Amino acid sequence: MNIDFTNVPKHLAVRTQEKMQDVLMDPAGVGPAIHYYMIRGGVSQKNTTVWEPGTISGEYLKTYGHYHVGELSENYSIVYGQGVALLQKLVENENGEMLADQVEEFRAIVVRTGDEVFMPLKFGHLVVNTGKTYLVTIDDSPVDFEDRDPSSFPGHADYELVRKMRGFAFYVVEDENGQPALKKNPLYKTINEVDLGGLRVLE
Ligand SMILES: [Fe+2]
C-alpha cells in the first residue's frame, strides 16, 4: 500500500472551550478545555471526529457548526455513541446570499451507533453528543492540506454565519429527566419549516 505520509503532522486539530464560547448557549458556562478532536484525512482517508461527553449550563457538547462553501454535500457515519444532528438551511436574498437570522428549514435528527446522516447542499450542520461516552463519527468532506489551517478551519467551510448567531436556531439541552430536548436560540428572527425529530422544545 502506497500512502503518502507528508501531511500527517497536519491531521490533528482540537476545538477548545475558548473558541466554542462563540456559539454556546451560555458563553460563561464551565466546560472542558477541549470539546472535540478532529483527525482529518479528506475524501480518500476520511475524517474522524471525537466528542467529549457532558453539558455546559445544560447544553450538550457539540461541534461548532458550519455551512459549506460551494456545491458540497457530506455523509456522516456514527461509529459510536449517541447524539443529535442539527441541519439548517438559511433563507437567501435575491443575490443568493444567505441571511444569517432567517431559517428556511431546520431539522433535528436523533442518531446512534450505526446510523448514517446525509448533509445536503446548502444545509449548515453540527452534531451534538447526548451520551455518556465519546461520540465518534467518520465523514467524507474534502481537505486541502495547502490551506492555512486545513484541519481546524478548512477552506470549504463557512463558520462566520454561525458565529454571528451564537449557534444554530435551537440548542440541544438536557431536560429534567436527563433526556435531550431543544431550546430556541432567541437571536433568530424566523424559522419557516421545522422537523424536530421527536424532541420536545423547552420554554
Ligand atoms: Fe461539513
- CA of 63 from ligand 1 middle (Å) equals 10
Residue 162 lies in a domain: yes
Residue 198 lies in a domain: yes
- CA of 102 from ligand 1 middle (Å) equals 20
> What is the band of 68 on the pLDDT scale with cuts at 50, 70, 90?
very high
Residue 2 lies in a domain: no
CA dist 181 and 191 (Å) reads 18
Question: What share of the chain in percent tops pLDDT 70?
Answer: 100
H or E element that contains 162:
helix 160-164
Instruction: Confirm if 141 and 110 have CB atoms less than 8 A apart.
Output: no
Residue 102: the pLDDT is 98
Give the domain range for residue 116.
8-202
Residue 47: the pLDDT is 97
Residue 156: the pLDDT is 86
Structural domain count of the chain? 1
Is the backbone of residue 171 left (phi > 0), alpha (psi -120 to 50) or beta? beta
Ligand 1 (ion): residues with CB under 5 Å are: 74, 141
Residue 197 lies in a domain: yes
H or E element that contains 182:
strand 180-184
- CA of 185 from ligand 1 middle (Å) equals 21
Residue 148: the pLDDT is 85
- CA of 87 from ligand 1 middle (Å) equals 10
* Section 22-38 average pLDDT: 98
pTM (whole model) above 0.95? yes
Residue 3 lies in a domain: no
What's the grid cell of residue 186? 432567541
- CA of 125 from ligand 1 middle (Å) equals 7
Residues contacting residue 79 through CB under 8 Å, at least 6 positions apart: 113, 136, 137, 138
What's the grid cell of residue 124? 449548515
Residue 1 lies in a domain: no
Residue 51 lies in a domain: yes
CA dist 5 and 11 (Å) reads 10
pLDDT digits (tens, 9 = 90+) for 116-172: 999 999 999 999 999 999 999 999 999 999 888 888 888 888 999 999 999 999 999
- CA of 74 from ligand 1 middle (Å) equals 6
- CA of 156 from ligand 1 middle (Å) equals 8
- CA of 161 from ligand 1 middle (Å) equals 14
pLDDT digits (tens, 9 = 90+) for 164-197: 999 999 999 999 999 999 999 999 999 999 999 9
pLDDT digits (tens, 9 = 90+) for 73-107: 999 999 999 999 999 999 999 999 999 999 999 99
Q: What phi, psi does 10 have (nearest 5°)?
A: -95, 0
> What is the band of 23 on the pLDDT scale with cuts at 50, 70, 90?
very high
Residue 194 lies in a domain: yes
- CA of 77 from ligand 1 middle (Å) equals 13
- CA of 177 from ligand 1 middle (Å) equals 31
Angle CA 142–146–151, to nearest 5: 55
CA dist 104 and 83 (Å) reads 23
Amino acid in position 49: T
Q: Which residues pair with 138 in a beta bridge?
A: 48, 77
- CA of 200 from ligand 1 middle (Å) equals 26
Residue 107: the pLDDT is 98
Q: Is the pLDDT of residue 70 over 90?
A: no
Report the CATH number at residue 132. 2.60.120.10
Residue 59: the pLDDT is 98
